[in-house]
Amino acid sequence: MTRENPTIRTDITDALRRAMARLGLPGSWHTGAHRIAIAGEFRRARAGLDAAADLPPGSLEAGRAVAVDAAEIDQDRVDHFASIGLPLHGYVEVVGVVSRIAAVDAFHRALGYEAPPFPDPTPGPPTGLFDQTAKPSKGFVPMLRGTSIWWALTLVPEAYEGMEELHSILYLSPHEMREPGSPRALSRPAMELIASRASAINECFY
C-alpha cells in the first residue's frame, strides 16, 4: 500500500503512515526503541507467540494484556503494573501504542496487505511529558474533562492525539458522529453494524 495508490483515500494512507512513524519516537515514559518493541509484542501476542522483547516487566506485561486480554484488565491489574514499575502515564502510553498498532494492522489485514514494517527508532530519552492537570476518573487512569472513551488517553497528550486522528480519519470525527448520515462510501448503518460486531467479538460494549 503506497501513498500513490489511487484507490485508498490519501487521508487514510497518510494517517497510517504518521501512526507508524510516531511509534519510533521517544514517548512519555518509553524510548522509541521500547515503543517499537511494545508494538512488536502486540504482533507476537496476536500470533500466539511468547514474549521476546527486552522490555521492563511492567511494560511487557501491560502491552501483552492490552494486546490480547484487554477485556480482563481491571483496577487491580493496573495497580499491579504500577507495582512492578510502570507508572500510570507509562501505562496510558502503552495503551496508546498497542491500540494504534492494532488499528493499523487490522486495516492492512482486512485489505490483504502485509503489515507495515516498524520504523527505525529515533534515539533519545523519554520526554516525561504527561498532563498533570488530569484528574482521577471513574476508570483506571486519570483523565481530562471527566470519564469518557474520548478522553480516556488524555493523561498522555501524544496518546490521545494519535487515537483522535485515527478515529476521525478511519471512522468519523466528533462532528461527523453527531450527524445522522455518512460522509463515506459505506452507509452509516453499515458502519455501525461493523462497529457493533467488532465490539461484541472483543467483548467491549462501548
Map the footprint of another protein across residues 132-161, applying CB under 8 A: 137-141, 143, 147-149, 152-153
Contact with another protein (CB under 8 A) among 50, 76, 83, 112? 112
Backbone angles phi, psi at 138, to 5 degrees: -80, 0
Contact with another protein (CB under 8 A) among 10, 14, 57, 109? 109
Residues 6+ apart with CB under 8 A from 116: 1, 16, 20, 104, 108
Q: Which stretch binds another protein (CB under 8 A): 26-34, 51-59, 120-128, 186-194?
A: 186-194
Contact with another protein (CB under 8 A) among 78, 86, 134, 156? 78
Contact with another protein (CB under 8 A) among 56, 80, 170, 176? 170
Cβ proximity to another protein: between 23 and 163 the closer is 163
Residue 39 engages another protein in binding (rule: CB under 8 A)? no
**Hey, what's the cell of 65?**
494484556
Please write down the long-range contacts of 201-205, taking CB distance under 8 Å and 24 or more positions apart: 202/70, 202/71, 203/71, 204/70, 204/71
Contact with another protein (CB under 8 A) among 18, 135, 145, 184? 184
Q: Which stretch binds another protein (CB under 8 A): 20-28, 32-40, 109-117, 125-133?
A: 109-117
Q: How many residues touch another protein (CB under 8 A)?
A: 72
Contact with another protein (CB under 8 A) among 79, 111, 123, 145? 111
Cβ proximity to another protein: between 15 and 36 the closer is 15
Q: Which stretch binds another protein (CB under 8 A): 24-32, 33-41, 48-56, 163-171?
A: 163-171
Cβ proximity to another protein: between 8 and 51 the closer is 8
